[in-house]
Chains A and B, each alone.
Chain A
Amino acid sequence: DQQVKQNSPSLSVQEGRISILNCDYTNSMFDYFLWYKKYPAEGPTFLISISSIKDKNEDGRFTVFLNKSAKHLSLHIVPSQPGDSAVYFCAASAVTSYDKVIFGPGTSLSVIP
């Protein structure tokens, strides 16, 4: 039973264009969401997060949008750069159990120069 889903295993985007990575969750108790980025042969690194009291959080080229009613969030990267090519993991946690973070299966993003 996957509580965090990333239905697109891969995505290709032209350099300079927008990348949109999607994530859906099933547990309505989740109230904190994170995106991690992973390069080959490295561990995931934290990218950006959003609390359920917000519907948008922005950090430079990265913006995360949260739609609680649809249990959906998305990561926008604008403009996309070749160095953004990596696997992106969506993750979620609940206030009742911050110790546990549930990760999605990841989306592999390729930014084509």
Chain B
Amino acid sequence: GAGVSQSPSNKVTEKGKDVELRCDPISGHTALYWYRQRLGQGLEFLIYFQGNSAPDKSGLPSDRFSAERTGESVSTLTIQRTQQEDSAVYLCASRQPGPPLFQITQYFGPGTRLTVL
């Protein structure tokens, strides 16, 4: 595809249930990021994958959050035992390898709006 895609676009779940969010990055982009945007807030970094390196998980808010990436393609973000405070838009971004300028610009997907009732 031409851009980063995410699915589902919307997800409503009950407190305590597990959810899985999917991200398909742009082909050839070795780096992939997950962010969270709560209502009225900025973009909160969650996790970063770069090639075969160990992911940077420093932004994950709790051990209920985990993410995986298959090679340099699809990534899934899993939230276990969802809580109401997990309600947010979850954004995925990818970027291409290269010199620093190319390393900086991230291309975002449309996001998944998660609502935990």
Contact = CB atoms under 8 A, between A and B. Distances in A.
The 10 closest A-B pairs by CB, nearest first: A43-B108, A105-B42, A103-B43, A98-B103, A44-B108, A103-B42, A46-B105, A43-B109, A43-B110, A98-B100
Interface of B: 4, 31, 35, 40-43, 45, 48, 50, 56, 91, 93, 100, 103-111
Contacts of B100: 32, 95, 98
Given A6-B42, A99-B50, 6 more contacts: A34-B105, A43-B108, A43-B110, A98-B103, A103-B42, A105-B41
Nearest to A33: B104
B41 A32 contact: no
Chain A, interface SS category: strand
A69 to B, nearest CB: 23
Given A43-B4, A43-B93, A101 B104 contact: yes
Contact of A41 (B4, B103, B110): B110
A19 B107 CA distance: 25
Interface residues of A, number: 25
Nearest to B111: A43
B108 A99 contact: no
A102 B48 CA distance: 13
A45 B111 CA distance: 12
A80 interface: no
Contacts of B106: 46, 101
A85 B23 CA distance: 27
A43 B104 contact: no
Nearest to A98: B103
Nearest to B59: A100
Interface in A91-113: 93, 95, 98-106
A49 B104 contact: yes
Given A34-B105, A43-B109, A99 B42 contact: no
